[in-house]
Amino acid sequence: MSDNLDPLSVAARWVEEGRAVALATVLETWGSAPRPVGSHLVVDADGNFQGSVSGGCVEGDVLAAAEDIIGTGGAKLLDFGVADETAWRAGLSCGGRIRIRVERVG
């Protein structure tokens, strides 16, 4: 895979450029899930992002959480699934559940 699109290579490059960066990682999946455990998405303070943690189902919420983390530092765990009460806005159509960690880089 080209380094231009690899999320971890992008993360290091962005931090070195002085951009504030958060990294989202799939920690656990239950049932059918679009991206395997360990998958990354990297996002900067302007909402530019690379990579994926789902098939586009929950990326919107992850980007919002990343914006908070970039401001506050630290890390946050996010759970998504059809059983989740937020499912109407960020659920997985495939019926699985996923846990995602969003953390500040650098």
- Which residues in this chain contact another protein in the complex, by CB under 8 A? 1, 8-9, 11-12, 15-16, 23, 25, 27-28, 36-38, 74-77, 101, 103, 105-106
CB of 99 to another protein, least distance (A): 9
Q: Looking at beta carbons, which pairs linking 15-18 to residues 24 or more positions away fall under 8 Å?
A: 15/105, 15/106
Nearer to another protein, 4 or 89 (CB): 4
Range list of β-strands (E), 1-106: 21-30, 40-44, 49-51, 75-81, 97-105
CB of 75 to another protein, least distance (A): 3
User: Please, which residues have CB within 8 angstroms of residue 47's CB and are 6 or more apart in sequence?
Assistant: 63, 67
CB of 22 to another protein, least distance (A): 10
Nearer to another protein, 26 or 57 (CB): 26
